[in-house]
């Protein structure tokens, strides 16, 4: 091949770099607060409009909330007089003395006052168990699991319901209320719904027709009726069919109803995860000689649950809030105790209800946001584990 003169001239230009270019810092528009703003809030016209709208919304809402909860709030007082409009107080915010006075009721319901230390002990034991189990670097997590799933339920049961032989006065569950009930119902629902849901999901995908049909029937039936119906069935209808002396406690019936209800939803969540696992995983596991339950426990479920963590937590958050429905069958959860307290004539003011509901909102927000944050952290940790 011959080369034209022009080509020769090109070859003389130094296209070959002989030294390495030292890395330079990125332009200022990419880094720092300014870069972040450009990247995240002002990247396009639509984004800019959204940013402005949200800033306006926050500018409107946050001062109002702060004003009600803090600035205009009443902090001291003994009865409704303190929270009424007066010459000094034109605008009245949250009525905190009301919450302060009724706080024990919100927490314990009608649990007998001399026995309330038992509830406190339960809260502490539960907190220890939850931290032990959820903190992934905690020491002896195997003991933590035994504590949480075996020791904690038994001791809490004895502690809360009482046992006269060891000197704990029996306390009827009718007297339980407030945060205690909300926590107990949510904890039982959360702890039981996942294993039951997994079993139902596996049943639904089973090759055995009877198992499959029963699972499908249960899941579809429970998903087809509202939770309120399940609770009514459990508390009103069930006693009609069962002799009175055999009929379990009202709270227990509601607990069973909620756990079964949540497990049907959990089953569908888990099934979605199971369907995401390729067939090759089953075949690989079968070929090395693992049996069905080993395959599920060691190979399939760890992968399936991992991809469904966001959905599992979503179901948990829904469940946590659905626990308020137990008030329909006469169980006094947190919301119900607030409902009762807010119509107490002693504290009847225009702001009492709003204050009470604000307390409920803050309580649920803290718990649900906590669950959501924990799930996020867990997801990040797991994706770090098997970087792809």
Partner 1 sequence: MNDRSEHHGSLLKPAKLKTAVAVELAELNKWYGDFHVLRDINLKVMGGERVVICGPSGSGKSTMIRCMNRLEEHQSGRIFIDGVELTADLKKIDEVRREVGMVFQHFNLFPHLTVLENCALAPIWVRKMPKKQAEEVALHYLKRVKIPEQTNKYPNQLSGGQQQRVAIARALCMNPKIMLFDEPTSALDPEMVKEVLDTMVELAHDGMTMLVVTHEMGFARQVANRIVFMDEGQIVEANAPEEFFAHPQHERTKLFLSQILH
Residues in contact with partner 1 by CB under 8 A are: 280-281, 283-291, 294, 298-299, 302-303, 306, 385-388
Please identify, using beta-carbon distances, which residue of 281 and 354 lies nearer to partner 1.
281
Using an 8 Å Cβ cutoff, are 99 and 360 in contact?
no
Give ∠ CA 169-173-179 in degrees, rounded to 5: 105
Closest distance to partner 1 from the beta carbon of 208 (Å): 13
Exposure string over 291-309, b if 16+ CB within 10 A, otherwise e: eeeebbeebbbebbbbbbb
Q: What is the smallest separation between the CB atom of 291 and partner 1, expressed in angstroms? A: 7
Smallest gap from residue 299 Cβ to partner 1 (A): 5
Nearest 5 degrees, angle CA 366-CA 370-CA 373?
Answer: 140
Tokens of 193: 């719904």
329: nearest Cα among 244, 240, 227: 227
Cβ closest to partner 1, residue 154 vs residue 288: 288
Nearer to partner 1, 231 or 300 (CB): 300
Taking residue 173's Cβ as centre, other Cβ atoms within 10 Å add up to 19
Strands, E, within the chain: which ranges? 177, 332-333
Name which of 362, 264, 374, 224 is nearest 313 in CA terms: 374
Calpha distance 349→42 (Å, rounded): 46
User: Could you tell me the smallest distance in angstroms from the CB atom of residue 272 to partner 1?
Assistant: 18
Phi, psi of 177 (to 5 degrees): -170, 180
Phi and psi angles of residue 241, each rounded to the nearest 5 degrees, phi first: -95, -20
Secondary structure (H, E, C), 125-193: HHHHHHHHHHCCCCCCHHHHHHHHHHHHHHHHHHHHHCEHHHCECCCCHHHEEHHHHHHHHHHHHHHHH
State the Cα–Cα distance between residues 93 and 74, nearest whole angstrom: 7
Q: Which is nearer to partner 1, 90 or 279 (CB)?
A: 279
Q: Judged by CB, which is closer to partner 1: 41, or 382?
A: 382
Q: What's the min distance (Å) between Cβ of 388 and partner 1?
A: 5
Q: Which is nearer to partner 1, 114 or 385 (CB)?
A: 385
Question: Shortest distance, CB of residue 308 to partner 1, whole angstroms?
Answer: 14
If the CB atoms of residues 26 and 385 are measured against partner 1, the closer one turns out to be 385
Rounded to a whole number of angstroms, the minimum distance from the CB of residue 288 to partner 1 is 4
**Token digits for 194?**
């996942």
Query: Three-state DSSP class for 221?
Result: helix
Nearer to partner 1, 226 or 302 (CB): 302
Choice between 302 and 370, CB closer to partner 1: 302
Q: 35: which residues sit within 8 A by CB, 6+ positions away?
A: 28, 29
Minimum distance from residue 281 beta carbon to partner 1 (Å): 6
Helices 250-275 and 209-224 meet at what angle, rounded to 10? 120
Instruction: Choose between 32 and 289: whose C-beta lies nearer to partner 1.
Output: 289
User: Least separation, in Å, of the C-beta of 278 and partner 1?
Assistant: 8
Give me the least distance between CB of 38 and partner 1, in Å please: 34
């Amino acid at each position: 091949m011959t080369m034209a003169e022009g080509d020769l001239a090109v070859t003389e230009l130094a296209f070959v770099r002989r030294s390495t270019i030292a890395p330079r810092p990125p332009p200022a528009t990419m880094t720092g607060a300014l870069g972040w703003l450009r990247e995240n809030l002002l990247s396009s016209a639509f984004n800019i409009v959204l940013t402005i709208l949200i800033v306006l919304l926050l500018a409107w809402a946050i001062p109002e909330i702060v004003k009600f909860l803090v600035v205009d709030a009443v902090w001291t007082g003994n009865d409704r007089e303190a929270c009424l409009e007066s010459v000094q107080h034109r605008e009245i915010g949250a009525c905190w003395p009301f919450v302060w006075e009724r706080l024990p009721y919100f927490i314990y319901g009608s649990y007998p006052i001399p026995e309330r230390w038992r509830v406190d002990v339960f809260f502490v034991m539960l907190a220890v168990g939850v931290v032990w189990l959820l903190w992934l670097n905690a020491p002896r997590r195997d003991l933590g699991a035994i504590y949480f799933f075996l020791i904690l339920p038994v001791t809490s049961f004895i502690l809360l319901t009482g046992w006269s032989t060891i000197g704990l006065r029996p306390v009827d569950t009718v007297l339980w209320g407030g945060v205690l009930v909300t926590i107990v119902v949510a904890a039982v629902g959360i702890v039981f719904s996942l294993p039951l849901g997994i079993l139902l999901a596996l049943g639904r995908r089973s090759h055995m027709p009877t198992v499959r049909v029963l699972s499908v029937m249960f899941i579809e039936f429970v998903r087809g009726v509202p939770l309120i119906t399940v609770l009514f069935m459990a508390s009103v209808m069930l006693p009609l069919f069962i002799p009175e002396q055999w009929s379990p406690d009202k709270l227990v019936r509601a607990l069973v109803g909620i756990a079964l209800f949540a497990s049907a939803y959990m089953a569908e969540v888990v099934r979605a995860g199971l369907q995401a696992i390729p067939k090759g995983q089953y075949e690989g596991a079968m070929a090395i000689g693992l049996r069905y339950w080993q395959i599920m426990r060691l190979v399939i479920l760890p992968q399936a649950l991992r991809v469904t963590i966001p959905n599992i937590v979503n179901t948990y958050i829904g469940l946590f809030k659905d626990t308020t429905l137990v008030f329909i069958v006469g169980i006094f959860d947190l919301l119900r105790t607030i409902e009762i307290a807010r119509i107490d004539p002693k504290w009847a003011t225009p702001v009492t209800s709003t204050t009470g509901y604000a307390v409920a909102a803050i309580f649920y927000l803290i718990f649900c946001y906590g669950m959501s944050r924990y799930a996020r952290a867990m997801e990040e940790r797991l994706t770090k584990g098997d970087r792809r």
